[in-house]
Structure 1
Amino acid sequence: MADAASQVLLGSGLTVLSQPLMYVKVLVQVGYEPLPPTLGRNVFGRQVYQLPGLFSYAKHIVKVDGRAGLFKGLTPRLCSSAIGTVVHSKVLQRYQEAEQAEPGTSKKEPVSSLEQVLKETSREMVARSAATLITHPFHVITLRCMVQFIGRETKYSGTLSAFATIYREEGILGFFAGLIPRLLGDILSLWLCNMLAYLINTYALENGVSTMTEMKSYSQAVTGFFASMLTYPFVLVSNLMAVNNCGLAGGLFPYAPTYSSWLDCWSQLHREGNMSRGNSLFFRKVPAGKRYVWEERRFR
């Protein structure tokens, strides 16, 4: 119980600290560009037109809504983080209890390293999926609270009232908008991360060398970053589907067409070359072949 409480507190602290970053990221993902491109220099010193980065974007939000404006959607996100942490730990705890209750557990032969990785990854997948499924309604509310910045709406002003609004207008399914690509992205990222880390640790790094042992401790972080980059389109599509056609300006034309499904959203983003939109908040390049429309605060 104490471990779960400490995890919730740590997770809540990280959530508060990362809220401005996620807020800016979500607005960029839906295509909202309140500031026009400026002439700057890239890493090679060449003059290029660049879009405002994280800090410039955040300053604009503060200018419009004050510092508190950077924390819109924080309450449902904190609820999601806390509930998700508890569900995740409870599922893994049940697995451990079931394993300990099996007769002859101590007499079992040790499993191979690959079998152990597959076993642990499968359990982690179930735990994460359960946490995502239960907390997704809070995730949807969080995104919609943030996207209200575009049209200056107040439709989702509170967590409880947001639940009532979604249920009244969209029914139960409204709470799970964008769930499928989110689940798929999480599962693919987890398996890619763990299997790549296993392959690197087993075949690329030799045992018995101190430097190699240290490198193994970092392989999980490196492969996790690589896996998240590969599966980013699932995150983008999930977030866009969560706000699509929900009555907010950020989920309607001109920012987004009405997608019939997440596959339709995926295909349209792919055709437009926007599969990585919002992936980087620094050194943001102007989209090739598109012009900035000041009245709409976007590119087209």
Structure 2
Amino acid sequence: MADAASQVLLGSGLTVLSQPLMYVKVLVQVGYEPLPPTLGRNIFGRQVYQLPGLFSYAKHIVKVDGRVGLFKGLAPRLCSSAIGTVVHSKVLQRYQEAEQAEPGASKKEPVSSLEQVLKETSREMVARSAATLITHPFHVITLRCMVQFIGRETKYSGTLSAFATIYREEGILGFFAGLIPRLLGDILSLWLCNMLAYLINTYALENGVSTMTEMKSYSQAVTGFFASMLTYPFVLVSNLMAVNNCGLAGGLLPYAPTYSSWLDCWSQLHREGNMSRGNSLFFRKVPAGKRYVWEERRFR
């Protein structure tokens, strides 16, 4: 219990610190560009037109809504983080208890490293999926609270009232908008990360060398970053579907058409070359072949 409480506190602290970054990221994912491109220099020193980065975007939000404005959607996100942490730990705890309760558990033969990785990854997948499924309604509310910045709406002004609004207008399914691509992205990212780390540690790094042992400790982080880059389109599609056609300006034209499904959203983003939109908040290049429309605060 104490361990779960400490995890919740740590997760809550990280959530608060990362809130401004997520806020900016979500607005960029939707396609909202309140500031026009400026002439700057790339890493090679060449002059290029760039879009405002994280800090410039955050300064604009502060100018409009004050510093508190950077934390819109924090309350439902904190609820999601806390509940998700508890559910995740409880599911893994159940697995451990079931394993210890098996007859002859203490006399089991050691399993191969691959079997152990598959077993642990499968359990982690179930735990993460359960946490995502239960907390997704809070995630939807968080995103919609953030996207309200675009149209200056107040439709989702509180967590409880947001639940009532979504249920009244969209029914139960409204709470799970964008769930499928989010689950698929989480599962693919987890398996890619763990299997790549296993392959690197087993075949690419030699055993018995101190430097190699140190490198193995970093392989999980490296493969995790690589997996998250590959599965980013699932995150983008999930977030867009969570706000799509919900009555907010950020989920309607001109920012987004009404997608019939997440596959329709995926295909349209792919055709437009926007599958990585919002993935980077620094050194943002102006989209090729598009012009900035000041009145709409976007590219088209």
Scaled to the shorter chain, the TM-score interval is: over 0.9
Deviation at 1:24, TM superposition (A): 0.0
Shift of 1:107: 1.3
Query: What is the percent sequence identity of the aligned residues?
Result: 98
Note the alpha carbon deviations across 1:155-191, whole angstroms, 9 max, x for none: 0000000000000000000000000000000000000
Q: Which 5+ residue runs of structure 2 have no aligned equivalent?
A: none
Deviations 1:86-144 (A, max 9, x none): 00000000000000000011111100000000000000000000000000000000000
Counterpart-to-counterpart distance in 2, 1:40 and 1:112? 54
2:190 corresponds in structure 1 to: 190
1:279 aligns to what SS in structure 2? coil
Written as runs of structure 1 = structure 2, the 5 A alignment for 1:241-256 is 241-256=241-256
Question: Per-residue CA shift, 1:228-261, capped at 9, x if unaligned?
Answer: 0000000000000000000000000000000000
Correspondence 1:77-96 to 2 at 5 A? 77-96=77-96
Which region of structure 1 is more displaced relative to structure 2, 281-290 or 101-110?
101-110
Runs of 4+ in structure 1 deviating by more than 3 angstroms, as ranges, are none
Gaps of 5+ in 1: none
Q: Give how far 1:8 is off.
A: 0.1
For 1:3 and 1:221, locate their aligned partners in 2 and report how far apart those are by CA, in whole Å.
Answer: 23
TM-score (norm 2): 1.00
Q: 1:214 & 1:112 partners in 2: Cα distance?
A: 22
Offset at residue 21 of structure 1 (A): 0.1
CA RMSD of aligned residues (A): 0.2
Report the CA distance between 1:80 and its aligned residue.
Answer: 0.1
1:4-51 alpha-carbon deviations (Å, 9 max, x no partner): 000000000000000000000000000000000000000000000000
Measure the CA separation in 1 of the matches of 2:57 and 2:173. Answer: 33
Cα separation, 2, equivalents of 1:219 and 1:3: 26
| C-alpha distance after superposition, 1:38-91 (max 9, x if no partner) | 000000000000000000000000000000000000000000000000000000
TM-score of the pair, normalised by structure 1: 1.00
Matched with 1:106 is 106
Q: Secondary structure at the match of 1:6?
A: helix
Q: What residue is the counterpart of 2:263 in the other structure?
A: 263
- Residue-pair matches, total: 300
Alignment partner, residue 26 of structure 1: 26
